[in-house]
Amino acid sequence: MSFLNISGKTFLISGVANKKSVATHVAQTLQGEGAQCVFTVQKSEQVSQVEKLFPGSQVFVCDVSQKGDIEALGKELSGKLDGFLHSLAFGNFSEGPKPFHETLRTDYLEAAQISSFSLVEMTRALKPHLSPSASIVTISISNTRATSYGYLGPIKAMLETSVAYLAKSLSADSQIRVNAVGAGPLKTSASAGIPHYIENYLFAEALTLRKKALETQEVANTVAFLLSPRSSGINATTLVVDAGMSCNGFDQDVVQKYAKD
Ligand code: NAD
């Protein structure tokens, strides 16, 4: 038996867009440990991508901006789930970077529904399928205090607070745990849409204590641990995975470079 003890367990994985997605790395890690994965994707065009990456897997289309899709998922699923990964987000940055106070109401509400409240709605739909000690994990960011994530920052803060509220409400009749992984900047398609992302990614790398960018697999390893029964004592919290970046705002190499320029 491997340490994670998830062989034969089944997990629902949302958010596979391509091979670089956080969700792809998580599913590969879980399968490597002998678990099975069932997938949800946003669009029907993404089904073939999941089938290519994970041949023979069951894939459901669930655009979380559509209430009906989430309800249908709950009805279409069969069998028990030992866990659920919520790994999706959306923010409309098509007009480029804007000061936070210029954020459009429509953009903010859409992003909040897709990137945060969908965790609550999906949990409600999946609850009848979740085993009594299942684990739910969502992906947040390493620091929600005015970072480079634009107006998605406060929405991620809302997501992290929802994690605690969900953990508490589910505890009324189950031992289902809910946690978030607060990931530092990664190279995925979601991040590519955020204004000035590459510059911020390189800056983040310079701020890691090891001077080497965070890898998506490192986030996936933490997610797999949180989805597994080995993390049974961890509930209603965010585990930060950022290679020490958040504590290193005054990195001396970065400070000296600034002083010279
Ligand atoms: P990704 O683009 O590979 O995945 C994002 C997923 O969100 C896609 O599969 C997309 O289809 C899905 N999605 C968007 N709108 C949706 C909708 N309406 N319905 C259903 N699915 C929808 O990028 P990723 O980096 O793997 O993102 C996964 C999670 O990780 C996100 O929550 C993101 O905010 C978070 N995260 C990413 C980084 C980073 O630097 N990439 C850092 C911290 C946290």
Cα(173) to centroid of ligand 1, in Å?
Answer: 30
Whether residue 156 lies in the annotated active site: yes
> H helices within 143-215, ranges in order?
152-170, 189-192, 197-207
- Ligand 1 surroundings by CB, under 6 angstroms: 15-17, 21-23, 42, 63-65, 87-90, 114, 139, 141, 183, 185-186, 188-191
Q: What pLDDT, on the 0 to 100 scale, is given for residue 115?
A: 98
DSSP string spanning 198-215?
HHHHHHHHHHSTTSSPPP
Strand partners, 17: none
Whether residue 9 lies in the annotated active site: no
pTM, two decimal places: 0.97
Active-site pick, 9, 149, 151, 201: 149
Q: What pLDDT, on the 0 to 100 scale, is given for residue 192?
A: 75
In this structure, the strands spanning 59-61 and 130-141 are unpaired
- Closest by CA to 180, choosing from 191, 167, 197, 192, is 167
pLDDT tens series, the chain, 261 aa: 799 999 999 999 999 999 999 999 999 999 999 999 999 999 999 999 999 999 999 999 999 999 999 999 999 999 999 999 999 999 998 888 889 999 999 999 999 999 999 999 999 999 999 999 999 999 999 999 877 788 999 999 999 999 999 999 999 999 999 999 999 999 888 777 777 888 889 999 999 999 999 999 999 999 999 999 999 999 999 999 999 999 999 999 999 998 987
Cα(255) to centroid of ligand 1, in Å?
Answer: 32
Q: What pLDDT, on the 0 to 100 scale, is given for residue 214?
A: 97
Backbone angles phi, psi at 75, to 5 degrees: -80, -35
Pocket mutation for ligand 1, best pick of 14, 22, 107 (most atoms within 8 Å of C-beta): 22
Q: What pLDDT, on the 0 to 100 scale, is given for residue 146?
A: 74
Cα(141) to centroid of ligand 1, in Å?
Answer: 11
- Closest by CA to 70, choosing from 129, 27, 13, 123, is 123
Active-site pick, 9, 151, 156, 197: 156
Cα(25) to centroid of ligand 1, in Å?
Answer: 13
Which CATH architecture fits 10-260? 3-Layer(aba) Sandwich (3.40)
Q: What pLDDT, on the 0 to 100 scale, is given for residue 109?
A: 98
Q: What pLDDT, on the 0 to 100 scale, is given for residue 246?
A: 93
